[in-house]
Structure 1
Amino acid sequence: MNERFDRGVAAIDGLGGGYQAIFEPMADVAPDLSRFVAEFAFGDLYSRPGLAPPQRQLLTIATLIALGGTDRQLSFHIGAALHVGVEPQTIVETIYHCLAYVGFPRTVNAMHTAKEVFAKRGLLPLKAER
């Protein structure tokens, strides 16, 4: 479509996603939505220098937890974090850290989402650390 879009699709693919699998379900309702997300969020923001992909993923996970009601996006970004080399325990610690700032309901819901992603990837049980 354009350079921003192509850069965005490449960024999504670099996170282990697949542009079509993520956005195809909305194509019949809001076909431009996927283009907006690909161009701005991934083509402009995710493609900027200054943060490594693991850092971006942990920031995105924390932000999605704070927003709440973002289970689909949270699931994608937890999977993306794993894809770019973030250890499951680091994701768990990131979720724990959100507890003091966003509260129990959002943190517990996020942990359930993480557990689902970990289970689908055969990463359970995790070794508990304290």
Structure 2
Amino acid sequence: MSDRFERGLAAIDRLAADHAAIFDPVADIAPDLSRYVAEFAFGDLYTRPGLEPPHRQLLTIAALAALGDVRPQLKFHVAGALNLGVEPATIVETLLHCLAYVGFPRTVNAVGAVREVFAARGLLPVGDQRPTA
């Protein structure tokens, strides 16, 4: 394995207990795709200096919310953010900030995916559930 791949795996290990969410969906049809994700996205980009991993996770969550239709990846990165110590309220606030740029449908869908991750971890409710005036 290349140094880039090993750096990528180390970065992924900080986010998740196993690599199944990244490798399993493509293993039987495009195994090199997992290698590209590990080497480039995590080994090259994620490990660059200048941003701490929690900040990278929040940026990734915002970008995935903007893309839409990426529920598995969004859930992976929300779980990764929580594993790095990002507070649930910070993740929610990140998505609320996206509302003006991403739009209501994608933000609502992203919050739904986040809710699934929070619920699985027993993190609901998050803060005061009443709408603010």
Answer whether TM exceeds 0.5 for this pair: yes
Q: Does 1:79 align with 2:98?
A: no
What is the aligned-residue RMSD (CA, Å)? Answer: 1.2
Deviation at 1:18, TM superposition (A): 1.8
Aligned to 1:52: 52
* Identical counterparts, % of pairs: 67
* SS, match of residue 82 in structure 2: helix
Query: Where has structure 1 moved over 3 Å in runs of 4 or more?
Result: none
* SS, match of residue 124 in structure 1: coil
Deviation at 1:25, TM superposition (A): 2.6
Could you list the runs of 5+ residues in structure 1 that have no partner in the other structure?
A: none
Contact 1:17/1:80 (8 A) holds in 2 = no
Could you list the runs of 5+ residues in structure 2 that have no partner in the other structure?
A: none
Distance 1:17 1:44, change over 3 A: farther
Contact 2:15/2:81 (8 A) holds in 1 = yes
CA deviations 1:9-51 (Å, max 9, x no partner) are: 0100011242244212311011100000000000000111110
Q: Which amino acid aligns with 1:54?
A: P
Q: Does 1:13 align with 2:13?
A: yes
Contact 2:65/2:106 (8 A) holds in 1 = yes
Query: Under a length normalisation based on structure 1, what TM-score does the superposition of the two structures give?
Result: 0.95
Report 1:1-130 matches (<5 A): 1-128=1-128, 130=132
